[in-house]
Amino acid sequence: MNLFVGRRAWAVSCLVLGLGSAWAQSGASADSRVPMVDVHTHFQSGGRNQNFSAALQTALSKMDELGIRKTVLMPPPLVGETPNYYDIEHLRFAADKHPGRVAIMGGSSLNVMIHNTPAAEVTDAVKARFKARFDAIVAQGAVGIGEMGIHHVSIPAMGSQHAYESVPADHPLYLLLADLAAERGLPIDLHMDLVPEAMPLPAALRPNPLNPDTLAENAEAFKRLLTHNPQARFVWSHVGFEPLLTRHPQRVKQWLQTYPNLYMSFRVNKGHPSPASAMTPEGALKPAWLELIQAFPDRFMIGSDAFYDVGGVARGSGDPGQDTGLRWLRALVDALPPEVARAVGHANAERVYRLR
């Protein structure tokens, strides 16, 4: 696994310099940097109140600025057809206009079906409707299914209506989705805030009343989903910067060792003292995370969670209205040894999502 250990001394010297220097170089020509593929992005606003054409221009501009070769657009994991609802139908134009720069995914309609159908009520007729919708998404050019929500805590900074979602990972429709996606060779992007054992809601999340006071354990059901069909590939999003701070390097290592069909996409920000944050508060990649990436260079990707809007990045892994999350991802890739940077920056995404 430690294929790139010989580069470690060089990489650690990058840590001493910090990621700030890499960020400062972000104005350099994209040709001089490792290209990136961002496998997790959205458009802000919704299907009924959209200006997605302008948001697409924002995305292309940011991609050019930061050396992002291609972006994968997808709907967020909505649980109802609210005014902000959209699915792959609203994104097709972007891939049609810029097939070399944009790929699309779909799945918010499938997420709605899962979250609104109790497991005991999943009949053959329900499965048939679910499969029909899956087939319709694939027929529109989806390179994967997502963003799908298993457990999604409500973040106060996102507003009082930011959704709380929870459904067992081994829900019958999730197991069916694994089989369908495996048959088509499509990855599934998952939002899964991990609760290894029952825990009180962290204080930082208490201002949002949508969150329960106690979070129920959800790891065992997730393990059953991962082993249900070994041919199904799952991309577990938002590693490196997630609200429950439960995916620290040692735990991530255990998951990757146990489940070879599991991948992870990085979302980062300047950093937090918790081991679950990939970055230090000063903005350097932590040595434990560097070692983990080097141990599994074929299992990590870049997934910014940027919400592109008219004139800028509406929200994502950084300050509201800013593109800091994108810039820290650029800095993370630039700080890696060359072979690892190419794998994490774009090669893994191109292989898993079959973007070539």
For position 2, what pLDDT does the model report? 40
Q: Per-residue pLDDT for 3 more than 70? A: no
* pLDDT tens per residue, range 182-198: 999 999 999 999 999 99
- C-alpha span between 167 and 274 (Å, rounded): 27
**Averaged confidence pLDDT in the chain:** 89
In angstroms, the CA 226 to CA 190 distance is 11
**pLDDT above 70: percentage of residues in the chain:** 88
- Given a contact cutoff of 8 angstroms between Cβ atoms, the answer to whether 240 and 279 are in contact is yes
On whether residue 168 sits in a domain, the answer given is yes
pLDDT digits (tens, 9 = 90+) for 207-225: 989 999 999 999 999 999 9
CA distances from 43 to 4, 89, 328, 345 (A): 36, 13, 20, 22
d(CA 207, CA 156): 6
Band (pLDDT 50/70/90 cuts) for residue 79 is confident
pLDDT attached to residue 22: 43
For residue 15, is it within any domain?
no
With tokens 């959704």, the residue in question is 163
Q: What is the pLDDT at residue 49?
A: 54
In a domain? residue 30: no
- Establish if 190 belongs to a structural domain: yes
Residue 3 lies in a domain: no
pLDDT digits (tens, 9 = 90+) for 34-68: 999 999 999 986 545 578 999 999 999 999 999 99
Please report whether residue 165 resides in a domain.
yes
pLDDT at 180: 98
* pLDDT at residue 294 tops 70: yes
Tell me: the pLDDT tens digits for 308-323? 998 888 876 666 667 8
Full residue range of the structural domain in which residue 87 is found: 37-352
CB 202 within 8 A of CB 244: yes
Is 16 within a domain?
Answer: no
In a domain, 22, yes or no: no
Distance spanning both ends of the chain, measured CA to CA: 25
pLDDT of residue 326: 92
Q: What is the CATH number of the domain that holds 159?
A: 3.20.20.140
How many domains are contained in the chain? Answer: 1
Residue 85 pLDDT level (bands cut at 50, 70, 90) = confident
